[in-house]
Homo-oligomer: A and B are copies of this chain.
Amino acid sequence: MGNLALEPLERPEGMTTHEYAHRRLRQAIMVGSIRPGESLTIRGIAEAMESSPTPVREALRRLSSEGALRVLDNRRIMVPRMTADRFSELVSLRSMLEQHAARRAVPHITERRIDQLAEIDRAQDEAIARKDDATALLLNQEFHRTLYTANPEQVIMPMVESVWLQLGPFLGIAMEHVAQLYFVDRHQEAIAALRKRDEDAVAAAIRADISEGIGGFERSAIENLLKLAGQ
């Protein structure tokens, strides 16, 4: 029933209701606060964020197009269940997508942007040091996003975000059941490669960052986590 736990979120002036609903749901899914399998009701969400069905429905449509939600045959909407196989597909897709995004960004990178990346990485290290997983996760995303959007004609970012969104619920589960997330940092490697404008090295750093990061989960560990989470 309408007991949906949605963390509050500041709403910038001028933001439409459906946009706000989209962002808030998106964040909730990304950090895994909506359990996969749990079904969402339009009215429930509308009530939880004090609006009405119309804008909420628009937000849900967008999220389903982004792969974050799945519409069942009976028109119920839910966060997709994770399986070990799907997880493996997502990680492999993420690695390929981001290597490509990184390569296509290299020709457009500026020293100014590399400095920005270094600053984000420093902030992330701080967050890791004080064991603030949530912030570290967010800064990690910002690092990758800042790199890929160096390419002004880039069309890949929405797809990268879609993969992040689909992996989100699993990360949420992992954070619940693992005492401390293990953070890999290949960012320094990436930055060094960027300064040399070495495409291959940049791609290799991104690849390592992903394969040793989220891609580092053993299949058996994944199955255990999913079982623990009642999936």
Chain A contact residues, CB within 8 Å of chain B = 18, 54, 57-58, 61-62, 64-67, 83, 85-86, 88-90, 92-93, 96-97, 100, 104, 151, 153-156, 158-159, 162-163, 166
Contact = CB atoms under 8 A, between A and B. Distances in A.
A100 B57 CA distance: 33
B90 A100 contact: no
User: What is the oligomeric copy number?
Assistant: 2
Contact of A153 (B65, B85, B153): B85
A89 B153 contact: yes
Given A61-B65, A86-B155, A90-B155, 5 more contacts: A57-B58, A61-B62, A83-B153, A96-B96, A155-B163
A104 B86 contact: no
A1 to B, nearest CB: 24
A155 B85 CA distance: 11
Grouping DSSP codes into helix (H, G, I), strand (E, B) and loop, the A interface class, with mixed when no group exceeds half, is helix
Nearest to A66: B65
A18 to B, nearest CB: 7
A155 B93 contact: yes
Given A92-B104, A100-B93, A18 B61 contact: yes
Nearest to A86: B153
B58 A89 contact: no
Contacts of A153: 83, 85-86, 88-89
A58 B55 CA distance: 9
B61 A154 contact: no
Q: Closest 3 A-B residue pairs measured CB to CB?
A: A65-B65, A85-B153, A62-B65
A61 B57 CA distance: 10
Nearest to A159: B159
Contacts of A54: 54
A89 B148 CA distance: 13
Q: Which of A61, A64, A67, A96 has the most CB of B within 10 A?
A: A61
A98 to B, nearest CB: 11
